[in-house]
Structure 1
């Protein structure tokens, strides 16, 4: 008899694949699913309010929430926080280059850093619009890529321009995987439950791609945050 199919990407969430606790546990959230203070700034696209995309993604999120292991293993962010990160700004616990600009002291307050970038981003260029599609659903949310090759190029142009403005590029700058986070992992999964998750995730992806082949999102916005529950838009960058 063949073992039930579990993809390599889903198997990565198995307790049998992990000896160490999840990376952000204890700094971003705790084992009760409560989000901790971790201030910073970032550039994101929020979902278009009241759109078909928002409805479909909220439905998909509920499918994950309804799984038996969801509440014990995953810390879910609020619906209002759903977004795609375009470019990662600075954050409290990463204060060295290439996650922090060389020209600013590493002990500069987060509020001062946000003010610093607010001034720099006043001169940010207008860039082409881009559209995104969903390529994968995982226990943590959605993986995205450009709807077309031209969209991939356009969103890369935005990322490169923000890298110039922020004065750093993360090591994964060229290979960054766009995503919409639903949750963070608190406890690794028992391998026995993963085939059920695989079936649900596959069905969820099929439904999403049928309902929203291209996502409706707001333009990129420079935001500040205190934790992963809310991202306050400070500057909105309307595309050409």
Structure 2
């Protein structure tokens, strides 16, 4: 009998979630190729060459070595980042995800130029540290190392919602994360124990080798797809 799937993993397995992955066909295809989906965002890239980056890459490589890892479309190592605030994106042109004072058919390039102007006056809301609290098939779930770190991260989000002109429905409860991959196909329930063991081992590895994930300051970025996020304006 297959072992029960822990709640944070349930949505990744076919028995618990038979629906097709949300972004399949718009963000990436069934071969794992990333598609053009332009937008902008505020992210913190990993610190290149840091010990914590090396540990994160080790976890990513262990996931890629799984025999059914072909069900995942992995983003490049160079794109690894923690999203601080979600900007606008081509296939999400609707209110709560787009500013009310700007027409919904405005080009992505024009939106990026507009946000560069609006973000020029955004102050520094403080540095923060993050740690990994969960490992799932698509990457790492992170949170502030301390309650104060978490408050600072939330303060950044509140401040950024003003120039961006919206708050997503999950604004207050947003789960910070570092994406490794996107699901092409749900994982088989029979493989749950192997994946859960891998994630438990990876979480222990990160606790030992990278209790704090070193991040660069928040930066406003543009992107054409999920493979590269170009820093246009450093905010922190």
Aligned partner of 1:92 in structure 2 is 90
Where 2:40 maps in the other structure, the secondary structure is: strand
Where 1:89 maps in the other structure, the secondary structure is: strand
For 2:92 and 2:12, the matched residues in 1 are separated by 24
For 2:82 and 2:124, the matched residues in 1 are separated by 19
Where 1:84 maps in the other structure, the secondary structure is: strand
**How big is the shift at 1:3?**
5.2
Say which of 133, 139, 158 aligns to 2:137: 139
What are the Cα deviations for residues 133-174 of structure 1, in whole angstroms up to 9, with x where unaligned?
Answer: 100000100000000000011011100000011010000000
**How big is the shift at 1:13?**
1.3
Alignment of 1:144-155 (within 5 A): 144-155=142-153
Aligned partner of 1:57 in structure 2 is 56
For 2:54 and 2:18, the matched residues in 1 are separated by 37
Give TM-score scaled by structure 2 length: 0.98
* Conserved 8 A contact 1:223-1:233: yes
Pair 1:17-2:35 in alignment = no
* Conserved 8 A contact 2:141-2:178: yes
Give TM-score scaled by structure 1 length: 0.96
Which stretches in structure 2 are left out of the alignment for 5+ residues?
A: none
For 1:6 and 1:16, the matched residues in 2 are separated by 10
User: Size of the alignment, in residue pairs?
Assistant: 236
* Conserved 8 A contact 1:11-1:191: no
* Conserved 8 A contact 1:5-1:198: no
For 2:211 and 2:15, the matched residues in 1 are separated by 35
For 2:187 and 2:2, the matched residues in 1 are separated by 17
Which stretches in structure 1 are left out of the alignment for 5+ residues?
A: none
For 2:231 and 2:154, the matched residues in 1 are separated by 21
**How big is the shift at 1:19?**
2.9
Aligned-pair Cα RMSD in Å: 1.0
Aligned partner of 2:31 in structure 1 is 32
Aligned partner of 1:180 in structure 2 is 178
For 1:236 and 1:227, the matched residues in 2 are separated by 20
